[in-house]
Structure 1
Amino acid sequence: MGQKINPLGFRLGTTQSHHSLWFAEPKNYSKELQKDEIIRYYIKNYVEKNMTYSVMELIRIEIEKDVDLTTMKIYILPAHADVFNKHYQREGKNLQPNLQKKFAYVKKKKGDLKTGKDIYVTPKFNLTLIKIDEPYRHANILAKFLSAQLLARISFRKALKKAIQLAKQANAKGIRVQIA
């Protein structure tokens, strides 16, 4: 028998790109990785709470970190383009200041330990929402479509055929569907 391999790790760098692009010193790597996960978790919760399911769907979050700036690209599937513009103006603009408040921290100056003065450091975030035009090229959107079809008590063969048809219409390179 052959060895099992993670499909994402196998395709990483050839057909897919990394979700995070940053470097850290070995002693700080675990802290940066935890910050990365906390940022993703916060964004997912914010989108679920403030941007309703019928309006937007979160597809992918890419995080790039420089020395003083964290750039985030959030790929979102909107239900309608005009709804995306209205919602982005209202809720999307609030996400960046909320992130900065959430991840602000207090840093002690080495020289001012005697006086007890602290410096309040606010990290800089650059946030970009990117609209996806062909949603059925993404596996997680097709999976949610299939689960909605099965919950609606539609025959699994019809649901599978419809998912394959939607992927072909979106010019997907290939598709393999399996329901357990």
Structure 2
Amino acid sequence: MGQKVNPNGFRYGVTKKHNTLWYADKKDFADILLQDDKIYRFFNKFTREYLIGKVEIRRNQNGHLSVLVHSAKPGAILGQNGENINKLTQDIQKLLRNKELKLNIEVVNIKNPDLNAIILAEQIAIKLENRAPFRVAQKFAIRNAMKSGAKGIKTQVSGRLNGVDMARSEGYSEGEMKLHTLRQDVDFAMATARTTYGAIGVKVWVSKGEFLDGNGEKNVTTEKN
């Protein structure tokens, strides 16, 4: 089971917190859910430019919307004197067709981007698009993650590797990767490299150890950052 299912979805509500937090009546639920999807898709376009590793959405009862953007380049998102944040706010209001929307975008700095699966997957994809050998790209990411304190990491690329006629998958791993253990903090992400030979899929699993409380017992209510 743990080997097949998405490790993030497998752990939501157990050892991982949901990225979206709000409550809505039945009549408003579908509209708000669609808005969240549009916001996630909007920031996905800037993942590489701003090294975005996570986006969280919070709503209160007064209709105020807060978007927390976790980035390894917070200065790039903020812009000079916060000009870029204002532009992003206006773009989202335009996207949601609500110029009166109470929207606040907060930027959270990712202290260690080499432990973020999304950023690692995008970095591998960028190297593949720049015609770097797929083995070198994966081993470079693995080495950086292990140096940064990861307990284990696993990578996989799939497609026409090196331009061969038949597509195949090849991956590498180092350290521990307990996908069946729910208390294991595993981060997972996928990315796509658009090469001259076609699309190459990239998958990255990063293990950061186990969730334990002060007594060394299993703790299923707290998530590490």
TM-score by structure 2 length?
Answer: 0.58
| Gap change, CA 1:87 and 1:167, over 3 Å in 2 | farther
Equivalent residue letter for 2:153: I
Q: How many residues align?
A: 157
1:67 aligns with 2:45: no
1:87, distance to aligned residue in structure 2 (A): 4.5
Query: What is the root-mean-square deviation in Å for CA atoms of aligned residues?
Result: 3.0
Identical counterparts, % of pairs: 29
Report if aligned partners of 2:79, 2:85 keep a CA contact under 8 Å in 1: no
Superposition map of 1:34-113 within 5 A: 34-45=34-45, 47=46, 53=49, 56-68=50-62, 69-78=64-73, 86-87=79-80, 89-100=82-93, 103=96, 105=98
Report if aligned partners of 1:103, 1:122 keep a CA contact under 8 Å in 2: no
Structure 2 unaligned regions, length at least 5: 159-225
In structure 1, distance between residues paired with 2:2 and 2:95: 46
1:175 aligns with 2:153: yes
**Larger strand proportion, structure 1 or 2?**
2
Which one has a bigger Cα radius of gyration? 1
1:172 match: secondary structure: coil
2:27 match: secondary structure: coil
Structure 1 unaligned regions, length at least 5: 106-120
Equivalent residue letter for 1:163: A
In structure 1, distance between residues paired with 2:88 and 2:66: 13
Task: Specify the alignment match of 2:106 in structure 1.
Answer: 128
Task: Specify the alignment match of 1:154 in structure 2.
Answer: 132
**Larger helix proportion, structure 1 or 2?**
1
Report if aligned partners of 1:101, 1:122 keep a CA contact under 8 Å in 2: no
The structure whose RCO (Cα within 8 Å, separation 6+) is larger is 2
Equivalent residue letter for 2:122: K
